[in-house]
Amino acid sequence: MRQIPRSVKDLRPAGILHVPFRGAELLESPLLNKDTGFDEGERDVFGLRGLLPPRTSSIEEQVSLELEHIRRKGDDLERYIGLAALQDRNETLFYRVVLENLEEFMPIVYTPTVGRACQTFSHIMRRPRGLWITPADIDRIPDLLRNARPDSTGAGSAVEEVRLIVATDNERILGLGDQGAGGMGIPVGKLALYTAGAGIYPSHTLPVSLDVGTDNEDLLADPFYIGYRRPRLRGAEYDDFIEAFVSATLDVCPRAVLQWEDFKQHNAIRILDRYRHRITSFNDDIQGTGAVVLAGILAAVRALGRPLAEQRFVFLGAGAAGIGIARTVRAAMSAQGADGPTIKRAIVTADTKGLVFAARDQLDDDKREFALGPDELAFYGMGSLNPGDRRDLDAVVAAVKPTILIGTSGVPGAFTESAIREMAAHTERPVVFPLSNPTAKTEAVPADIMAWTGGRALIATGSPFEPVTVNGESRIIGQANNVFIFPGMGLGAIVAEAREITDEMFLLTAGTLAEMVSPERLAAGALYPAVSELRDVSRQIAAKVVCQSRDCGVGRLYRDEEVFDAVDSAIWFPAYLPYRPPA
């Protein structure tokens, strides 16, 4: 059966799963529980008579019933809680519901609703998921990893089956900042999308909260706060803690791919740079965001009929996401033959203090690689700037005349009407990406951008938005959601057994994703495929990652004709299999 993960095929001869549990213990195993889906024979063999109501239901019937339950709830946070309860009870059914209704439930399982869940996590958590590690655990992290038993099939050592870890230190949760222990909602949600979007078997995944404390005073004052009630760890002690976690992961879960998630800018960049060659790892906020935004840009330049090297970029927001996108755009322009001075001029960044330029007062080291020097300032007619000068977005747009404007600022309304109108005055089809999420943090809403550009803009957003009507025609607003990148990247790295995840892999994934935008969607304004195509997108991306891992010498040596078979064999489809007791 091609839908069975390779690593658990031996447990499922001829599509049968040999299960060591029975009775209540079986019903309490979320990955094995079928609820009313157990057939008559299984109820006899596994001691389930009397523990279930008499009716036997197909998984299709169960999906319909769960949809009725969830849709009856009037609030998205209540729907999130309902889906989490389903995941805690019956994972196969949970993933079937989500997979068959991705457009509806992805915004619930992940952004924007997950942001509300993180903010209220201490009050809505019903059953802990994943692994919680605090500074008090620094000398016993290997033991904690061994305590994590995500493989509820009962087959041998569970830790050996951990192939994918998403870890966060909870400091930069979406655009909401430090959420302390509530940040666990992010790796839990991300891993749910890895499984729904790429078919990675749930027991191979492990969400991790590196709970190093919090500086969020509201959380510290909350008597029900569940996290490590200390000020956030900083400096050398923080670095020692991260080192202990990486060392333990390499020791206990040596085949795991590690995704760093929602670390604050400075830590995100330096942790990525420090460990990316030592452990198979990537930072989704930097590299995943860079790739998905580049994909939207490549789709946009397809619609514009002008090459990437001719574009001028203004980035509002110079944090980890903004720098990650800028790095990826720079690499793509270089790969397409643009020279250094052209690239340096083409990428202009601004932050809360205005234009980022080399001589500016109190310029963070993380931003220097994209700071404009004297030559670039002179090119844009700003050669007389002093260290204390400030140029806001309107002034930057007027000077640079960008063709593409990208926002990762987390400041709602930061794309002003005057700035967008100024941009539109100098380019036929402005490309505008207000990417901050959740929805309340977006730099501008698509309807306003369309109005300010006379309906000419090509738009992608970070959070989902409804289509906008322009001159009687519906324009689709594509979502630059990292879910188009990270599930396929993780799946490909696992199949390839990659020792490293390279920048070239992210460039390849961006190009692959851009090519999957159909001409019809592009004509309707969409710069990304439909979310319903996610599994096909992830499959294509995974195959590219496997080939690139082979070609650059960091992965298994698959022949071309073997690649898709290897990828397909690792993709799990949520369906009930017949159960039998161990032989």
Catalytic residues: 110, 190
Cα 292–chain centre separation: 10
> Can you read off the two tokens belonging to residue 67?
């949809």
The amino acid that residue 254 corresponds to is: P
Burial (Cβ within 10 Å: 0-12, 13-18, ≥19) of residue 179? buried
Q: Specify the 3-state DSSP secondary structure of 282.
A: strand
30 neighbors 90 (Cβ within 8 angstroms): yes
Place of tokens 């580049």: 294
Q: CA 148 to CA 180: how far, in whole Å?
A: 21
- φ, ψ of residue 358 to 5 degrees: the values are -60, -35
The amino acid that residue 171 corresponds to is: E
Q: At what angle do helices 76-89 and 59-72 cross, to 10 degrees?
A: 150
Q: CA 384 to CA 377: how far, in whole Å?
A: 8
Comparing CA positions, the residue from 236, 189, 231, 188 lying closest to residue 211 is: 231
Q: CA 516 to CA 133: how far, in whole Å?
A: 40
**Ordered DSSP codes for 227-269:** S--SPPP-HHHHHHHHHHHHHHHHHH-TT-EEEE-S--HHHHH
Signed CA dihedral, 510, 516, 522, 527: sign only: negative
169 neighbors 212 (Cβ within 8 angstroms): yes
Q: CA 252 to CA 246: how far, in whole Å?
A: 10
Q: CA 375 to CA 53: how far, in whole Å?
A: 76
Q: CA 342 to CA 199: how far, in whole Å?
A: 42
Place of tokens 């609703």: 113
Q: CA 259 to CA 535: how far, in whole Å?
A: 20
